[in-house]
Amino acid sequence: MLYVIGLGLADERDITLRGLEAVKACSRVYLEAYTSILLVPKEQLEAFYGKAVIVADRDMVETESDAILEGAKDIDVAFLVVGDPFGATTHTDLLLRARALGIPSRVIHNASIMNAIGACGLQLYNFGQAVSLVFFTDNWKPDSFYDRVKENADLGMHTLVLLDIKVKEQSEENLARGRKIYEPPRYMSIPLAVEQLLYTESQRQQSILSPKETLAIGMSRVGSSEQRIVAGTLEELNDAEDIFGPPLHSLVIVGKRLHPLEAEYAEEWAINKAEWRRVAKQVYGCQLDQ
C-alpha cells in the first residue's frame, strides 16, 4: 500500500492518529520537502514516529518516483505531505503513477493553509481562486496570477495568495553546467509579496489593487504557537517588515463583499484599527457598528 499522509501545518504532533498508525506500520517513510515545510527539523519527526524519514526533494518526486513506489505492492510505503495531501498537484501525480502500476493507495487528510486561513476571521465560502506568487527576477516577472485576482475581485471574493519558497534550487549557471550546487533556501515574506503585487498593478493598471484602499491580511506560521496575524491596507503591510517573524508567510487580499462580522473579527489584528474601519466603511461599504 502507498499511504499519502497529511502532516498538518506546524510540527510532528499535528499528524492525525490514523496517520501516525499508518506511518508506524510502513517499511519506508518519505517526507516531501519542496512544496512546503514543517516548522521543525525531520529529526523531530523521526523521534516521534520511531521511523527513519527520507527527504524527498523535487527531483526525487518528479523524476524518480519509481524509487518511492518500488516494492509498494508488497510493503507499506508512506509519503508525508505538509498540510493536506491534495494541496499540490504533484501528489495527485504520484497517486496516478501508483494507480498505473497497480499499487493500492490510501490518502489520510489533515489541516492545510487552504482551510486554516480562516483563522484570520474571513469566511472560507467567501474565498475565490487561490493564487501562487513566485519570486520575481530581473528578467522574469510573471503576472498571470493577476487575472485570477481580478476575477475574484470582480465577484467581491477574497483571494488567498500562496507565497513562493525555494528549497534546494540551483542557480541558472549551475543548472546549465550540470553542477549539483544548491542555493540557500529562500522564503517569500509578506512585504515582498505586497511589493510584487503593487508592481504588477502598476504594469496592468486595471485598478484592482490600491496601496491605500485595498485591505489585506498577512499570516505567518499558521497553526503553530507562534502564529501571527496582521491586518491593514497593502501599504501598511508593505511597510511592516519586522512584525511577521520567520516563515512561512501567507497573504489574503480582502474582497469587496466583506461582511461586517468578518471586518469586526479581523480588526483585532489591524495595524491601525481606525484606518481599517475607515477603509472597510468608505471603500468596501461595510456597515460597522460605532
Strand 2-6, strand 105-108: pairing: parallel
Q: Decide: 220 and 244 in contact? Cβ < 8 Å.
A: yes
Residue 121, marked binder: no
Residue 59, marked binder: no
Q: Decide: 118 and 251 in contact? Cβ < 8 Å.
A: no
E-strand ranges in 128-276 read 131-133, 159-163, 165-166, 186-187, 215-220, 228-233, 249-253
E-strand ranges in the chain read 2-6, 28-32, 54-56, 77-81, 105-108, 131-133, 159-163, 165-166, 186-187, 215-220, 228-233, 249-253
Per DSSP, 82 falls in state S
Residue 249, marked binder: yes
Residue 254, marked binder: no
d(C-alpha 19, C-alpha 41), whole Å: 19
Give CA 281 to chain center in angstroms.
30
**Amino acid letter at 54?**
I
Residue 84, marked binder: yes
Q: Which residues contact 29 (CB under 8 A, 6 or more apart)?
A: 23, 49, 51, 52, 53, 54, 77, 78, 80
Residue 112, marked binder: yes
- Feature table: binding site: 9, 84, 87, 112-113, 163, 222, 249
Q: Per the annotation, where are the binding residues for S-adenosyl-L-methionine?
A: 9, 84, 87, 112-113, 163, 222, 249
